[in-house]
Structure 1
């Protein structure tokens, strides 16, 4: 169960990072509310997962999932460019996250 919560929390990190970017410095109401809810849920989930998982592994996986989610969404929506190098680096990051899980 801690791994499931950690993955969901990582996905929520991508949500809050994207919402923060769209909030225009927390001046736009809806993205600011999405940011606040997502960051609270993401941190709560990370904290829950860290009760059973090593702190370094849990944090690295959480950040990796959040980073992949954020940049993947930005590329899918056209907010950031897509290139072979960027996609390969994201695939490498996913591989590292999976590797951390497998070496637990």
Structure 2
């Protein structure tokens, strides 16, 4: 959630997420608005080719993360991998 709160993309730092690119961050919009859903749609449309091959995710500033996948298990796995990348990115500066 620190990346969500700061509206920052999450870089790839583990082998499990290489090839997907950084987890992007869309522009902030208020919750429960058509603009928010349109921004999420636009992000996944822009990354359609990658999303059709691999699960991907996007940060919604001040809201959370949305992930895609062919099924709930792959989407959840992607979410866990994103969380690991975020944790590793935050802690690497303390080592």
**The TM-score by the shorter chain falls in which range?**
0.3 to 0.5
TM-score (normalised: structure 1)? 0.31
More helix by share: 1
TM-score (normalised: structure 2)? 0.34
More strand by share: 2
